[in-house]
Amino acid sequence: MKNPRKELQDTAEELSQHLEIERKTAEKGLTQMQKKILGETKLRHDKALRRLAQM
């Protein structure tokens, strides 16, 4: 005989694990995007500083 409460608990634990994986994946993607944006911003600032130095 199946125990509905146990099945619900198992399903909830499975969903929780999947959500944790999704969260970590999203954080990793966000971190990579932040690094890219920071790199691009730094390049723009460096270029602007070089232009100012040449004036």
Phi/psi for 2 (5° steps) reads: -80, 145
Q: What is the DSSP letter of 55?
A: -
Domain ranges for the chain: 15-55
Helices (H), the chain: 4-54
Provide the pLDDT confidence category of residue 17 given band limits of 50, 70 and 90: very high
Q: What distance in Å separates the CA atoms of residue 40 and residue 12, rounded to the nearest whole number?
A: 42
Tens digits of residue pLDDT in 38-53: 999 999 999 999 999 9
Condensed to tens digits (0 to 9), the pLDDT of residues 4-15 reads 899 999 999 999
pTM of the predicted model, to two decimals? 0.55
Say what the pLDDT of residue 12 is. 92
